Amino acid sequence: MVAESLAEWWHESARDLPWRFGRATPWGVLVSEVMSQQTQMSRVVPYWQAWMERWPDAAALADASKADVITAWGRLGYPRRALRLQECARMVADDYHDDLPRTYDELVALPGIGDYTASAVMSFAYGERIAVIDTNIRRVLSRVFLGAESRGGAASPAERALANRVLPEDSAARCRGFDRPSVVWNQSVMELGAVICTAKSPLCEQCPVAAECMFLANGRPGLGERRTRPHQRFRGTDRQVRGLVLNALRGLPDGRIAIDRKDIEALWSDHIQLDKCIASLDDDGLIEMLPDGSVRLPC
């Protein structure tokens, strides 16, 4: 009953994201998954569309300059992901003739690709029956089938066993990949966790599986006590300072490629923290430090 109810809800209510419903290449699906890590889907859409128009395949991204890649990443956050995605593109272009590999083991061997992303590509791009496990899916499965909150952190063996146990069989093998029961299940459970079965304020009155949910039946025990992802302070953190430096470099007028030391120091009053963040950006390959103290995006 849960799978049927979720599938009906998915077909009626799923957000019309441009990489869904078979409209994106496998490479485009992978890009969407990398961009969506720790980032709201609504923020990802315009970046993904601009990115795929500029670099529609791995080979195109592989040939781009690092400065262009970092600039195009914009405010998606965690910009090291952009360079790892380019490293991945180079391996796909060189070792796989620009065709994204089709096996889980080959996918997780690519730079920056872990279990979740590889599983998502196998399911969403190739229509393979494989359990996709992220924070939203773990929360929904734990609530619906166990009546308890997910504890967060890395997925436990018990959570992985549950995800595999409830994954529907794909008996209708001739249907389109994105319509196969296991794919619809992965997509719909993830979507439910993103828009309905949220961590702190689940909209149980709108949930298509409320009648089957053990968590709701038990009175939603412990709601809000264990957050599936800890709140991360941003203001005043190194992340904020690193972002200020990168945004300043992205916003340089045409013809100017570097920011001098005086302008850098104007970005943040704590120059000890600022210098630490500049050094970490340099270590990550996101900027280059020049002999005169100025910085620029890598060539």
225 counts as catalytic: no
**Alpha helix (H) residue ranges in the chain:** 2-13, 26-36, 41-54, 58-62, 66-73, 80-95, 104-108, 115-120, 135-141, 157-166, 181-195, 214-217, 238-250, 261-265, 271-283
Say if residue 5 is exposed, middle or buried (CB neighbours under 10 Å; 0-12, 13-18, 19+).
middle
Residue 219 near residue 52 (C-beta atoms within 8 A): no
Kindly name the residue from 4, 8, 33, 128 that is annotated as catalytic: 33
- CA-CA distance, 257 to 259, in Å (whole number)? 7
- CA-CA distance, 76 to 57, in Å (whole number)? 20
Residue 223 tokens read as 């709601």
φ and ψ at residue 107, rounded to 5 degrees? -65, -45
Query: Catalytic residue positions?
Result: 33
